[in-house]
Structure 1
Amino acid sequence: MVLTYAGPDPAGQKLRRRQAGCDRYCSGQRSPSNEKLECDEFPMASTLEGGFKATRMCIPASQNSKFQGPFINCLIEFYDIQPGQRFVVRMVSCSATGAKMRRRDDTANSSDDPTVQTNSDGTLTLVSNTTQWIPYPQRANPSDTGGTGFVVIPLGNATQGSYNTTLSFSSLDGLQHLAIVDSDGFAYWSAQGLNSFSSTPTLPQISFNVSAGDIDLVLAAAASSRVSVSAAILATVTPRPSSGARPLAPLAGGLGDRALAVLGVVVALAGGLGLLL
């Protein structure tokens, strides 16, 4: 299938998510292992082909906002995919033969949900300190160095509005790229070269806006090898006044609680470059 990267297009993403019918489609649902389920749509809303013709299903958060969003963002950054550039997604295998359940420390449960408090002035205070290691599927690392993945911290279902956020890490060692992303791979904030923050594990306050509701965000830190890092997020959220319109939703892909490595998808840029997704 040939898809077209839409680029940073919040209004377009919002419309395509609504057209796909992902709005609250998986609200309140959990997997047999008690993991939060999120809406998966394909083609994803970060492509111009997303929208009315997209298919949808509910899949675990570890395969959606915690994996596919950061992974798509990584591919966009690594291959410098530009708005309007076409790429090919080709299924090369969909056999679940020999698939294994993920180890429990690679998945999630109800304790992942951040704590959200409503303040007297109408703002929200969001606190999240649950970190997880999400590995790349076999052979899916775009740089082919092997053994890489993401440290992710869930920010939960997004509130439309402005976020002022403080990030604290036990260490920045081994972390290469930091981004706050949704399940379409759209980055609301990102930082390359974390050594620019010196050795201080508390990063300067960052601000970003969310224009689409009913979409899950994560803080994702790419790492060259499995790392053990603790982190915390403290955010003050100023909600945007409701316009009366219904909120929207996310994307993804996966096989329920099975390991993602059983899926093989080749993504090829228009020039012939291919990679395994």
Structure 2
Amino acid sequence: MLKARVITAIFLLIGFLAALFLLSPLGWTLLATVVAMLAAWEWGGLMRLVGIQRIAVALLLGVPCTTLMLAQPEALGLSGSLDKGAALSLAWWFLLPALGFWTLLVPLWLVRRFPLSGTAFGLLTGAVVLLPTWLALVLLRHLGPWALLGIMALVWIADIAAYFTGRAFGRRKLAPQISPGKTWEGAYGAVAGVLIYGLAVYFLSGSALALPLLLLIPTLLVLTAVSIIGDLFESLLKRQAGIKDSSQLLPGHGGILDRIDSLTSTLPLVTLLWLVL
């Protein structure tokens, strides 16, 4: 298991960096679409669908992605430079609902532990989770590969800091009925890790998320909290579906949703913040 995990991680890292730095905007958008459709196939599993039904969920998600690529190339930066005004107009339809979903609905969802019941409800929830993530990946790439990598690193640092702090100091359970391994001490470690990272980027580069220092710190706190919420949300859905991993697409690492759970909640918010500023 460890060997498979290491080998998969190496190939994932090489493939991701190559795509991030070498692909054209169209190539990156197509790759993001494939990843989103595979994540949608996994989402079908969380809905307890099987066989052709899960494939249909993946194909269904590909429809709006393809439609936007054809109908709104300027807003996605596929016809030259990104038209930020067009991107913002598009973002209101996708990223604003995501903001409300992750900051208002999901915290209540975690407290009440609502089931992902009903096909229509499951598909709608999946769309709110995956479509804004796809759009965020496409748009943030126009900030530059290093910028997108730095933004994603914020989430990875939160996960890593939470894991090691929780292992070393964890005593009080954060959400024992959802994810027994997570602790409040781990959450505090995630906050500390993200603050150190964000402030280091700010003082070394002169900016971070294009925010002044007084706004940067509360923004980092919010993003850390939202990343934890994203992680807990997928953990809850997997527990309700009776599965350990969203799939076995990535040997030793589970599925795509297992790797992007925190990104689904944070990337849309960062994108909306960037477009509004």
TM-score > 0.5 by shorter chain: no
Q: Which has the higher helix share?
A: 2
Task: Name the structure, 1 or 2, with higher relative contact order (CA <8 Å, separation 6+).
Answer: 1
Which TM bucket (shorter chain)?
Answer: under 0.3
State TM-score, norm by structure 1: 0.21
